[in-house]
Chains A and B, each alone.
Chain A
């Protein structure tokens, strides 16, 4: 089966600019996650969707980050405005449902200058 797809793979922006990332989960997977992985650290969960509803977004910096999964399939994560500390790899993952293992996408490496 096809894996989790993400685009773009790399993005370089200046601070205070906006950026958006896209994720297409594995077909049929109801649960979708966005993680932030800062260099040298483990992934940190930002937001979890179950179909098109938010399950948990307690660690999402809502003043600048937003995410949506309007039709319960693809998802976008947006940062507006970006800060230097947002430089990281943004990983999308999906699972069949909340009780099943998570599969990760290749990630988007964001550099904020």
Chain B
């Protein structure tokens, strides 16, 4: 089955700096890669996703890049703010958006004011 590894497990940055979280996946048939943000005690919320037919996607301060050959994808957050502090999860699936997500282990991002 699919295996998703996520690094780093914790990341501390100063407000205004950029943060990068990286994930690798094992199944070359995976074609959908969402990123979720989970604040303490709250539900995971989708912040951005990318499909295998594109290499990069941006939404304001957030961007995701995908390298299908290397089987890795990354989340980039620019101009970080304290409210970006949370746990971020990457995931992968083979069936477009809705099919059986396999999640990475999570990255705890701390943005220091």
Contacts and interface: CB of A to CB of B under 8 A. Distances in A.
Given A101-B34, A101-B49, A43 B44 contact: yes
Contacts of A56: 100
B43 A44 contact: no
A101 to B, nearest CB: 5
Interface residues of A, number: 24
Interface stretch (A13-21, A64-72, A79-87, A91-99): A91-99
Interface residues on B, range: 20 to 34
Interface in A21-60: 31, 40-45, 48, 55-56
Given A105-B43, A106-B42, A107-B43, A42 B95 contact: no
Nearest to B103: A42
B45 A101 contact: no
B95 A98 contact: yes
B18 interface: no
Given A42-B91, A45-B100, 4 more contacts: A45-B101, A56-B100, A99-B99, A102-B46
B96 A99 contact: yes
Nearest to B4: A42
Contacts of B106: 40-42
Nearest to B89: A42
B105 A42 contact: yes
A104 B47 CA distance: 13
List 10 tightest A-B contacts by C-beta distance, closest first: A42-B103, A98-B98, A95-B98, A99-B96, A104-B43, A101-B97, A104-B44, A100-B97, A42-B89, A106-B43
A43 B98 contact: no
Contacts of B46: 101-103
A95 B100 CA distance: 11
B98 A100 contact: yes
A102 B98 contact: yes
A95 B46 CA distance: 12
